[in-house]
Chains A and B, each alone.
Chain A
Amino acid sequence: MPDTMMNLHSIAAAVPEIYLTAAICIVLLFEAFVGAKRPGATGTLTLLVLVVGAALTVAYADVAQRVVLFDGTYVADPLAYVLKLAGFLAVAVTLLYSRAYLQNRDILKGEYYVLSLSALLGIFVLISADSLLTVYLGVELLALSVYAMVAFDRESGVAAEAAMKYFVLGAIASGMLLYGMSIVYGLTGTLNLDGIAVALSAPHNLGVILGLTFIVVAVAFKLGAVPFHMWLPDVYDGAPTSVTLFIGTAPKLGYFALALRLLAHGLAGVTVDWTAMLAPLAVLSLVVGNVVAIAQTNIKRMLAYSTISHVGFILLGFVAGTVNGYGAALYYTLVYVLMALGFFGVVILASRKGFEADKLEHYKGLYRRDPLLALAMAMLMFSAAGVPPFIGFWAKLRIIQALWETQHLWLVVTAVVMSVVGAFYYLRVVKLMYFDEAPESLPDTVRSFGVRFALGVNAAAVLVLGILPAPLLDLCARVIR
């Protein structure tokens, strides 16, 4: 057990969470007293909060070594540092993109920002969890915030239905997680993940595998791996696009951490078992995600299925079961978040008041109407397909490399074949934007300079980090040991 003496210096590593909790209270109060008079002010404050939070994280949470705090419930390490910074960035970009969208639909309310921040806090708790309890706390905090966000547009019946579905299925998954955790706790006698890892390194009871099964199911559900993916397309499609953008990006960081901390760290003693369980899930996700995405006519659903296929790739990194594999999965997750910010951002910017650009046909001839948006989307699509010089290529390369190192011939073959299948529907989007003529009746895209600039930077990052991939690759390899 670590030293339990607490002073200000020793909890410095936990500054991001402490700060965020305080900031949520402030934003809530600000909304109550000022927000009603000036709609939009809360949004600006939230962006400020996120920027300050990122700065504080850099100042305090950049730990060189693994630091365990609060009686072994909380861990700060370089991985957590990177993920938290990425979380701040992802949520800030999400909120920036969403602003006009929220305004147009009369849901630009302070609570939206509070919920975003509490979801982010949930993500942080997950990232820094070192005990089963903390894990569960993070999962629930994140999930409850997101359920509410999905239902945020009260007028929309589809959104309410999506939220309900998400909530019910999410509750089942939480139950699974809790049940699996209780079994593992019962057999190892500790909630602490380090303790569990130690206990499982010795020969263990078969019951652990039973607990593990439930945990794997819950992790697969949260990530959206087939066959636990049913909620994902409906929620992505039904939720307001700004919320789709939110749940498609930052939470993935948290769920990656969930898988890493629980499976790769706490349950490292049974790696053989959970990699064997994840392998079919990964293959199924690749196949179902890519094949079903082809049949979609709704771009949000198509991107939802594409998410499922990317989750398959991330899981393949875990299936490798090596440090390199986890590093590959981390890199893939970060790359995916960067790309998802971009393509859901395009969907948001193509939508106007009273018009949702959620059908594929709405992107016909986008090149003529808005060259920048079309170019950004084309770059993101090629990146998602894994074509160099874009960053998505390196993510796939890294995963395949990890799989070869562990001699997974058939997984490599499946992965490469499925990326060809996936290329088809990404190319189709490019085809619609560049080769087809625009119908007359579509409204203009969002023209506000700041947001478009951000999207341009986002797309440029996909290209620049694709041409010079070394820094990010190094970072990911360094923080996972």
Chain B
Amino acid sequence: MHDHLLSLLIWLPIAAGIVVLLLGERNIVVGRWLSLLASLVALALCVPLVRDFNTHTAAFQFVQKAAWIPRFHAYYALGVDGISMPLVVLTALMTIPVLIAGWQVITKRPAQYYAAFLIMEGLMIGVFSATDALLFYFFWEAMLIPMFLIIGIWGGPRRVYATIKFFLYTFLGSVFMLAALIYMYVKAGSYSIAAFQALPLTLTEQRWIFAAFLLAFAVKVPMWPVHTWLPDAHVEAPTGGSVILAAIMLKMGGYGFLRFSLPIVPDACRELDTLVITLSLIAVIYIGFVALVQQDMKKLIAYSSIAHMGFVTLGAFLVYAIVRSTGATQDAALGMDGAMVQMISHGLISGALFLCVGVLYDRMHTRQIADYGGVINTMPVFAGFMVLFALANTGLPGTSGFVGEFLVILASFKASFWYSALAAVTLILGAGYTLWLVKRVVFGPVANDHVAKLSDVNGREFLILGVLALAVLALGVWPAPLLKIMEPSIQHLVSQAAATKIPV
């Protein structure tokens, strides 16, 4: 069973999605329950994944390898290590609230809606568990199709513009990565990621490949200045689409940096790390200011996502600066630990915040901050959740948001005082835009008649927000298990990143 666990996690949701699609809109009641069942089974399959995960090795576990295209030496090869396993679990977890959130809300083509998210789930797990670059790319690109349809069909008024922009942006980044992967295949004779990591490359080659990877992953993260698709996509996407986009898809960029850029082109990363760090700091600070002035709740959270993802790229690329200044690699691991925790935590928090906005939007059909005010008077339970997630977003100790940011700032302090000083600005800015949002929306007197008529969260909404709140708190209070899972893989990654691959 363990040999096929990852395959099951990938193909079960996809198969369920196809069945829901075939059942059609007329059998939507069955389709809905079937979707929920499939996503719950997928989450249940994560239990053995976590329980039987060996935390003492950096090697890939739960591996499966089957011939796929023998001529290209491309395999259907799956496996997870400490970096990808938490992301797989996060994907399985976050799909469930998305499905539940759409329960009564999605009335337009619901069967297709559910099918799209289930297929997405399978493909995203595929991205995180592929150990063959061609298979990775296969899932990576295939994922664009359901997301394209989700934004385009169920999105807001400017959905067509947003979804085409989303697709073309990510496609443009990805094709360069594909070119780089094929180049390395021609040199290495295999598409295995491990073979790429072992492949000696001259500095010139590494620079080109680094650039190709940067394009692909920076668009996905997204990093300033290629972030402009994200606010549009988030604003127009339906709630579920925003949640998946923020919680999982953005993480793929960060995952790409950790899995591809750092171990495959370490010398180019060493040479160009300042570039990535600068872009990350710009994301943290400049985008933080941009978030401050937003009038639209979703847009504000979208910009906040960009700023928070800046911490991920910052943490990942601090390794060289730390080695340069202190010479100690265990300090370098700190930054990557922070990046990883930040990814998981941001997945939970941003997902939860988009769900909160969804709850309000379903009732008021507006996302403008100005249309709200005093929500706490009519929706006290909801207000509690929203305040909790907002505080987590600002990095309040005791929530998961604190752990990631703290680790990254700590690591950046070891690299350079100025990095940490600039990164710490986020503590002020993040608190600024998030708390101001909460103040304007949740607190104060009831702003208008619409707000006065609001009804508090129902059981369905309470359930999903409650589970996410528990996860955010648990990870914040006790992050040790997650850190322990990641440790060997991060250590291995640091040693790979610190090594040189230039042939002598």
Contacts and interface: CB of A to CB of B under 8 A. Distances in A.
Contacts of B137: 388
Given A427-B148, A435-B153, A474-B71, A412 B179 contact: yes
B153 A434 contact: yes
**B interface, by DSSP: helix, strand, loop or mixed?**
helix
B107 to A, nearest CB: 15
Contacts of A434: 149, 152-153
B69 interface: yes
Residue in A388, A416, A423, A473 with the greatest tally of chain B CB atoms within 10 Å: A388
Nearest to B159: A435
Interface string A437-451: 000000000000000
A397 B182 contact: yes
B164 interface: yes
Interface stretch (B49-57, B170-178, B280-288): B170-178
Contacts of B144: 387
A382 B159 contact: no
Contacts of B210: none
Contacts of B72: 401, 473
Contacts of B138: 388-389, 393
Nearest to B154: A435
A304 B220 CA distance: 33
A355 interface: no
Contact of B182 (A401, A428, A468): A401
Contacts of A469: 69
Contact of B168 (A382, A405, A420): A420
A435 B145 CA distance: 14
A469 B68 CA distance: 8
B145 A431 contact: no
B186 interface: yes
B185 interface: yes
**A interface, by DSSP: helix, strand, loop or mixed?**
helix
A470 B75 CA distance: 11
B178 A387 contact: no
Contacts of A382: 145
Contacts of A473: 69, 71-72
B167 A423 contact: yes
A435 B168 contact: no
B68 A470 contact: yes
Nearest to B155: A435
A470 B70 contact: yes
Contacts of A424: 164, 168
A73 interface: no
Given A389-B142, A434-B153, A477-B71, A416 B160 contact: no
B183 interface: yes
Interface in B32-89: 67-72
Given A387-B141, A431-B160, A416 B186 contact: no
Nearest to B167: A427
A431 B148 CA distance: 10
Given A387-B144, A388-B141, A434-B152, A400 B182 contact: yes
A431 B141 contact: no
Contacts of B183: 404, 412
A376 to B, nearest CB: 14
Contact of A416 (B71, B141, B153, B179): B179
A474 B159 CA distance: 42
Nearest to A393: B141
A19 B153 CA distance: 52
Interface residues of A, number: 30
Nearest to B137: A388
A419 interface: yes
A397 B181 CA distance: 10
Contact of A423 (B160, B171, B186): B171
B183 to A, nearest CB: 5
A412 B69 CA distance: 22
A387 B164 contact: no
B160 to A, nearest CB: 5
A397 B67 CA distance: 18
Contacts of B68: 468, 470
B469 to A, nearest CB: 35
Interface in B161-217: 163-164, 167-168, 171-172, 175-176, 178-179, 182-183, 185-186
B46 to A, nearest CB: 24
A107 B151 CA distance: 44
Interface in A362-393: 382, 387-389, 393
A172 interface: no
A287 to B, nearest CB: 16
Contacts of B175: 416-417, 419-420
Given A400-B178, A435-B153, A405 B186 contact: yes
A400 B182 CA distance: 7
A431 B172 CA distance: 19
A401 B142 contact: no
A413 interface: yes
Interface string A415-433: 0110110011001101100
Interface in B118-148: 137-138, 141-142, 144-145, 148
Residue in B160, B175, B178, B185 with the greatest tally of chain A CB atoms within 10 Å: B175
Contacts of B159: 435
A413 B148 CA distance: 25
A345 B283 CA distance: 48
A470 B357 CA distance: 46
B236 to A, nearest CB: 11
A419 B168 CA distance: 10
A416 B145 contact: no
A289 B178 CA distance: 22
Contact of A388 (B142, B163, B176): B142
Interface in A33-61: none
Contacts of A397: 178, 182
Nearest to B186: A404
B142 A387 contact: yes
Residue in A389, A416, A419, A469 with the greatest tally of chain B CB atoms within 10 Å: A416
B149 A416 contact: no
B213 to A, nearest CB: 14
Interface string B314-326: 0000000000000
A404 B182 contact: yes
Contacts of B70: 470, 474
Interface in A289-320: none
A420 B179 contact: no
Interface string B330-354: 0000000000000000000000000
Residue in B71, B72, B182 with the greatest tally of chain A CB atoms within 10 Å: B182
Nearest to A406: B186
A405 B184 CA distance: 10
Contacts of B71: 470, 473-474, 477
Contacts of B160: 431, 435
Nearest to A327: B71
B199 to A, nearest CB: 14
A424 B168 CA distance: 7
Contact of A431 (B67, B164, B176, B186): B164
Contacts of B69: 469-470, 473
A401 B185 contact: yes
A400 B179 contact: yes
Contacts of A393: 138, 141
25 contacts: A387-B145, A387-B171, A388-B137, A389-B142, A397-B178, A401-B185, A401-B186, A404-B179, A416-B176, A416-B178, A417-B175, A420-B172, A423-B167, A424-B164, A427-B148, A427-B167, A427-B168, A430-B148, A434-B153, A435-B152, A435-B159, A435-B160, A470-B67, A470-B71, A473-B69
Given A400-B179, A419-B175, A424-B168, 19 more contacts: A397-B182, A404-B182, A413-B179, A416-B176, A416-B179, A420-B168, A420-B172, A423-B167, A423-B168, A423-B171, A430-B148, A434-B149, A435-B159, A468-B68, A470-B69, A470-B70, A470-B71, A473-B72, A474-B70
The 4 A-B pairs at the shortest CB distance, nearest first, are namely A416-B175, A404-B186, A388-B138, A470-B69
